[in-house]
Structure 1
Amino acid sequence: MNLIHRKLCRSDTWVTNVRETLMPWTLEGIDLGDDVLEIGPGFGATTRVLIDKVPNLTAVEVDPASVRLLTEQFPSVNVIEGDGAKLPLPDNSFSAVTCFTMLHHVPSPAEQDRLFAETFRVLKPQGLFVGLDSRPNLRFRFIHLFDTMIVVDPDTLPQRLAAVGFRDIDITKTETRFRFRARKP
């Protein structure tokens, strides 16, 4: 992430937006169950919300500095350094897997598809994959200058999730964001 992006994601404004707007909308009407995996929590704004909603939370983060930060901030969370496209976790382990505003940081559509397949693998039967990501606009593009930004098209996401086995796929779009939900049969 570039400096602007890092500064934004650490800001009180972002934390408040996540807590009061993004997470309530994304998780509306959802029961995540008892054992939840969060992929790509970054600086932990979303982890801060999840920790109060679920009994057992595991986080997988690729950036070593963020892993250290998350481990210090959230001692009750099992924080693992790893890649969401190569999860170092056993099959059928989690009632839900989440990822929030991070899919566009995955370096290619093929890697995103591997992340979807890995998510499917580690979910228990009937488990949920729930998340949120951004749709491109001028502000979004500016924040991501010289940054990895592989935007996920919410119109093709259902086919991509179905290709790895997900069912009951639901995408809800706004002008700037979209949330997704899918179930492992």
Structure 2
Amino acid sequence: MNEAHERCGSDEWRQMIRDVILPWALGSTDLGDDVLEVGPGYGATTDVLSRTVGHVTAVEIDADLAAMLTERYSGAPSVDIVHGDAIALPYADDRFTGAACFTMLHHVPTAELQDRLFAEVARVLAPGAPLVASDSLASDELEAHHEGDTYNPVDPDSLTSRLAAAGFEEIEVRTNPYGWTATARAVTS
């Protein structure tokens, strides 16, 4: 990530995640007690999830961010930080009770890789377990914010078919003027 993303570790961003983004995205969805978080970045969502679910396994592809989070959560028995790639998760099928990925999918460089990520998350979720994902809507302002960095926003209109193809059902996609959220459940049959 470029230097502009350092604000994602700020107290202001953490408050926005805690008070606005997560409540809107999660709604009444129960992620269960063993949650996979994909792409925690600076850990703003990890902070919230670690206080509301039994255990969080956060998979971060960036080595520096994974190291920072590992140090930060070293005394937290309810959080495991894993340096890894979410398109090749080292977990058995049906392992997690829920999954979350917030404000990170636009960093996945291609739609094909985003779809592989969705399919891999579906694989490690127990049948019927929820995925909650959200991100910003595409904008010129956000594209400028990502100068020198990956910026591949997800079109919310494509999510229903993409998530279904990846192994999800009961898909709900909502938007507001700033972003989208999708809730889906791993296929049960």
TM range (shorter): over 0.9
Secondary structure at 2:123's aligned position in 1? helix
2: CA distance, partners of 1:164 / 1:25: 24
Percentage identity across paired residues of the two chains: 46
Q: How does 1:26-175 map to 2 (within 5 A)?
A: 26-75=25-74, 76=77, 77-175=79-177
1: CA distance, partners of 2:105 / 2:120: 14
* Cα displacement (A) at 1:139: 2.5
- 1:62-85 per-residue CA deviation (whole Å, 9 max, x = no partner) reads 011111111122232111111011
TM-score by length of 2: 0.94
Deviates more, 1:108-117 or 1:141-150: 141-150
Please list every run of 5 or more consecutive structure 1 residues that lacks an aligned counterpart in the other structure: none
RMSD of equivalent CA atoms: 1.0
The aligned amino acid for 2:46 is T
Aligned residue for 1:4? 4
- 1:145-164 per-residue CA deviation (whole Å, 9 max, x = no partner) reads 11101111100111001012
* Cα displacement (A) at 1:24: 1.1
Contact 2:138–2:154 (CA under 8 A) maintained in structure 1: no
Contact 1:42–1:61 (CA under 8 A) maintained in structure 2: yes
Structure 1 outlier segments of 4+, above 3 Å? none
- 1:110-169 per-residue CA deviation (whole Å, 9 max, x = no partner) reads 100100110010000111111111101232122111110111110011100101221000
2: CA distance, partners of 1:32 / 1:130: 8
Please list every run of 5 or more consecutive structure 2 residues that lacks an aligned counterpart in the other structure: none
1: CA distance, partners of 2:91 / 2:7: 31
Q: How many residue pairs are counted as aligned between the two chains?
A: 184
2: CA distance, partners of 1:159 / 1:146: 30
TM-score by length of 1: 0.96
2: CA distance, partners of 1:18 / 1:143: 18
